[in-house]
Amino acid sequence: KAGVTQTPRYLIKTRGQQVTLSCSPISGHRSVSWYQQTPGQGLQFLFEYFSETQRNKGNFPGRFSGRQFSNSRSEMNVSTLELGDSALYLCASSAGTDYNEQFFGPGTRLTVL
Amino acid sequence: AQKITQTQPGMFVQEKEAVTLDCTYDTSDPSYGLFWYKQPSSGEMIFLIYQGSYDQQNATEGRYSLNFQKARKSANLVISASQLGDSAMYFCAMREVNSGYSTLTFGKGTMLLVSP
């Protein structure tokens, strides 16, 4: 079974630009969660999608948004990038019903200059 | 209050020795799950072990075991016979089942260094 894939793996943007990150969950998994990891704040929850619906959202500004497609692939978008958005963005996949499964992708490392 | 607390920023251990990484948690949800992940320098979060709040026995997965003390709200990870490849960041995380979500709350992590 293929694992969670994230693209791109690395990204460099400048302030004010926008960026879209993609996550493909494990086949059969319907829940995708996104996390931001920075040295200062650690791992912080962004949002969770289940069957194309956002069912939980963390405490991030509206510049951070996401969506999920019918094949469970998810994208997150960050508009008007700020220097502080530089981080490792991780997505996690789960079946949504079995709470003992949460598998992560390799992450997208975003650098904002 | 922090939901997950990892008090050890860094730990050193010699190869082949056992090491315990501490984790305490705080929740009012009677049904929850506790996870441990390993994050090498590459960045990927690798799932190690899971313990459910109603599990009667401590979880074990190969060299990893979870010392679950429910009354103390602690879920320490024990790595037996450390290997050089165990050098990484280790995160404890919790999912509160009655939230209905898959959201994980993470601790700050413990950096483990294994020396030859």
* Digit-coded pLDDT (tens) for B42-101: 899 999 999 999 999 999 999 999 999 999 999 999 999 999 999 999 999 999 877 777
How many whole angstroms separate alpha carbon B31 and alpha carbon A88? 30
Chain A residues within an 8 Å CB radius of B45 = 90, 92, 104, 107
SS3 B99: helix
How many whole angstroms separate alpha carbon A27 and alpha carbon A95? 9
* Digit-coded pLDDT (tens) for A14-33: 999 999 999 999 998 899 99
CB pairs under 8 A between A and B: 64
In this structure, are residues B47 and A105 in contact, taking their beta carbons and an 8 Å threshold? no
Q: Where are the beta strands (DSSP E) in B1-116?
A: 4-5, 10-14, 19-21, 24-25, 32-39, 46-52, 60-61, 64-69, 74-79, 88-96, 105-106, 110-115
Token output for B56:
């009667």
Q: Which residue of B has its CA nearest to A108?
A: B43
* Digit-coded pLDDT (tens) for B45-60: 999 999 999 999 999 9
**Partners of residue A112 on adjacent β-strands:** A13
